[in-house]
């Protein structure tokens, strides 16, 4: 086991329980954009995680959603979303998580996604498989697109940008059993790894949204690319994750949407 995995799981668990304890409080909300928000709970969770990392790994680099990056020139970099699903959280909707990943020399080597409302700890290390509360995970075996349950989300600039996923959503909704839009990309990816969703796609995500969840999917036997099959990187503009079997069929729908 990667020496940092138990540490990542512990701090994700601690941060998640903090968030859970404050879910029904009245939240202070600041707007980063017209609909992109941050709460005091985001900042409290982040402070807890960053403090623990700086104590345990003072020389490591850190990339976190709500703070400036820490650049020490380390071969290790922590990638953190202290509260993925902030809009849900601010409304008291109990679908959110904590996401923590660790890169080594530019490659994600471990990832943890903790859902405190269901006490679900998703964890993966490169080459070591993906697990949920200690149970080995595997992606679904769904092989027919019309039988699939997919997940997606919409970017914060949906009101201004034409590149907003609506065209892909409309085309895909006609082809599948159902699509869910739960509001937490990290959880959506974890659920693909667990076989709960057969696939997931989204546009304009950030590294902290996809680093941990992406590793979970790969280690559970799934596939990740951009929407049209190019290799996915943390700075890729779009992501497509699937059980692998449905990957080409999903890409065909996106290509069809592009020409509609």
pLDDT for residue 253 is more than 80: yes
Q: Cα–chain-centroid distance for residue 21?
A: 22
pLDDT for residue 156 is more than 80: no
DSSP 20: H
Mean pLDDT, range 161-179, rounded to an integer: 94
CA distance 157 to 164: 7
Quick: pLDDT tens for 98-131: 999 999 999 999 999 999 999 999 999 999 999 9
Look at residue 33 in the predicted model and tell me its pLDDT: 59
For tokens 């994600």, the residue is 108
Quick: pLDDT tens for 69-84: 889 999 999 999 999 9
Going along the chain from its start, the domains and CATH numbers come out as: 5-136 (3.30.540.10), 145-259 (3.40.190.80)
With CA atoms as reference, report the closest residue to 257 among 238, 232, 233: 238
CA distance 250 to 240: 9
Look at residue 32 in the predicted model and tell me its pLDDT: 61
Mean pLDDT, range 143-157, rounded to an integer: 94
Mean pLDDT, range 12-23, rounded to an integer: 96
Global pTM value: 0.95
% of the chain exceeding 70 in pLDDT:
97
Asked whether the beta carbons of 177 and 147 are under 8 A apart, the reply is yes
* Strand 37-39 to 29-31 pairing: antiparallel
Residue 219: its H or E element = helix 207-219
Q: Is 165 exposed, middle or buried (0-12, 13-18, 19+ CB in 10 A)?
A: buried
Look at residue 53 in the predicted model and tell me its pLDDT: 97
% of the chain exceeding 90 in pLDDT:
84
> Token pair for residue 260?
């509609």
């Amino acid at each position: 086991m990667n020496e940092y995995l138990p540490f990542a799981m512990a701090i994700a668990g601690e941060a998640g329980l903090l968030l859970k304890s404050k879910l029904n409080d009245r939240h202070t909300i600041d707007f980063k954009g017209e609909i992109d928000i941050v709460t005091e709970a985001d900042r409290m969770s982040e402070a807890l995680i960053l403090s623990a990392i700086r104590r345990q790994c003072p020389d490591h680099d850190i990339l976190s959603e709500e703070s400036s990056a820490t650049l020490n020139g380390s071969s290790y970099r922590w990638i953190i979303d202290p509260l993925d699903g902030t809009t849900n959280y601010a409304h008291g909707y109990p679908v959110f998580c904590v996401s923590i990943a660790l890169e080594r020399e530019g490659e994600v080597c471990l990832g943890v996604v903790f859902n405190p409302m269901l006490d679900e700890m998703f964890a993966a290390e490169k080459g070591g498989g993906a697990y949920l509360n200690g149970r080995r995970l595997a992606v679904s075996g769904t092989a027919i697109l019309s039988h699939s349950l997919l997940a997606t989300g919409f970017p914060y600039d949906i009101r201004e940008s034409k590149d907003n996923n609506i065209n892909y959503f409309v085309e895909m909704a006609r082809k599948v059993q159902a699509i869910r839009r739960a509001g937490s990309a990290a959880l959506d990816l974890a659920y693909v790894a667990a076989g709960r969703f057969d696939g997931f796609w989204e546009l304009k995500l950030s590294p902290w949204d996809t680093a941990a969840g992406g590793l979970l999917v790969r280690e559970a036997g799934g596939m990740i690319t951009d929407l049209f099959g190019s290799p996915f990187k943390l700075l890729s503009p779009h992501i497509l994750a699937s059980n692998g079997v449905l990957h080409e069929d999903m890409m065909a729908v996106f290509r069809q949407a592009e020409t509609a």
